[in-house]
Amino acid sequence: MPSVPPDDRLRVAMICVHTSPLDQPGTGDAGGMNVYVVELAQALARQGSEVEIFTRATSSATPEVVEVSPGVSVRHITAGPFEGLDKNDLPGQLCAFTAGVLRTEASRTAGWYDVVHAHYWLSGQAGFLAADRWDVPLVHTMHTMAKVKNAYLAPGDHPEPRGRVIGEEQVVEAADALVASTPAEADELVDMYGADRRRVHVVPPGVDLRLFRPGDGDPDEVMAAERVRLGLPDGPLVLFAGRVQPLKGPDVVVEALAAMRDAGRTVPTLVVLGGPSGRPTALRELQALAAQVGVADHLVLHPPVPRTELAGWFRAADLVVVPSHSESFGLVAVEAQACGTPVVAAAVGGLRTVVRDGESGVLVRGHEPARWGQVLADLLDAPEERARLREGAARAGASFGWDEAASAMLEVYREARDVRRASLAAAHRPTA
């Protein structure tokens, strides 16, 4: 681990309004962002910083402060009712949430926090005020963007409201630094939101390479052992891991199974590892679709699992699918590859960077089920090609590390601090 200069030992206020990093990813609003926030915070702490994560309390039983690991804590702010609030209801609670954040700082020594790092636009709104009040830089990571999602809307999905678009534009204008996960996301910030490119920084997220790694020994033997342990069937097996919602596209793979059957190809088992998001009926709707197209016997639904167990599910699969309609990064794709499992992903957003087409997996243009069925069938019928992709997947996954991401983020924090100081100095410079 690189040595840490004294001025890098920052106190960071991370803001994550709508979902706690303590929540189980894969259901509700919890997903890759939850993992991103807690993993980045812990990596920053390993390099000497202190990170306090502010999130909205969703249960009266949750302690006000939870120590996650040395140097990292999660503070739950009461803002509105604990239960029953949809993410779309949260803008009305931003005033109460921000007041709770400001009260926390008010109990500290003056100048306690060095930087505010907000995640998602709701947090950016709260972070905007906090950074302004504390006179520290605002660093913002979008994670997803309304204009991008609306441009690639999944069938049956609802467009993001105009209020979110306006809120995102305000945060882009206010932020001292914007963090994108890939060059493609950086371009979207500039082209679609008019961001100042000088303030846009690309910092690829990482993956816990101690947890997500290939198994020891022959990959086929590892796969067989994992399937026995998890109670999964023999034969071709494809895994989808994530929230079950239109944006993530699990319906595309279900219909691809039917296309494979109609083309006379072997139909694999599709394991969907995740919970409903947005609509509580999402799982039943996916089951109904599988029954409608005649592949219900090939669909296995399983609740999301803790991250300590997720790597085994990746190693048990022949292929992992990420058919998202838009994806700023695609953490599942990185984690699966780090386990040595090839990924078949939609050629959208950050997935075009994360998945090395023809080397660690295959990128599929569009969401036509027949095309997806052909790609999956061809790979499942080609064990030598899958073996080659396994090796490439492991190499690709191993290139992402959280310590490297934290080092790069510290550089962003320092530059944002310098930008803010220069701006304040210019504002107070006497005119001739």
Q: Which residues line the annotated binding site?
A: 18, 24-25, 29-34, 87, 120, 144, 164, 243, 248, 305, 314-315, 317, 327, 335, 341
Residue 394 sits at the vertex; the CA angle it makes with 324 and 48, to the nearest 5 degrees, is 90
Closest to 345 in 3D by CA, of 388, 232, 358: 358
Q: Which residues are annotated as a binding site for 1D-myo-inositol 3-phosphate?
A: 18, 29-34, 87, 120, 144, 164
Contact 259, 369 (CB under 8 A): yes
Element containing residue 191 per DSSP (H, E): helix 183-193
User: How far apart (Å, rounded) are the C-alpha atoms in residues 32 and 62?
Assistant: 22
Give the bridge partners for 202, in sequence order. 180
Residues 6 or more apart whose Cβ sits within 8 Å of residue 147: 165, 168, 188, 192, 193
Strand, helix or coil for residue 318: coil
Beta bridge partners of 364: 346
Query: Residues with Cβ < 8 Å from 13, sequence gap 6 or more?
Result: 52, 54, 101, 105, 113, 115, 116, 117, 127, 130
In the sheet that holds 361-364, the strands lie side by side as 299-302, 269-273, 237-241, 319-322, 343-346, 361-364
In the annotated binding site for UDP-N-acetyl-alpha-D-glucosamine, the residues are 24-25, 32, 243, 248, 305, 327, 335
Structure tokens of 396? Answer: 């690709």
Distance separating alpha carbons of residues 325 and 54, to the nearest angstrom: 30
What burial class does residue 56 get, using C-beta atoms within 10 Å of its C-beta: 0-12 exposed, 13-18 middle, 19+ buried? buried
Contact 344, 362 (CB under 8 A): yes
404, containing H or E segment: helix 402-428
Binding-site positions for Mg(2+) read 314-315, 317, 341
Residue 377 near residue 265 (C-beta atoms within 8 A): yes
CA distances from 396 to 248, 322, 337 (A): 22, 16, 7
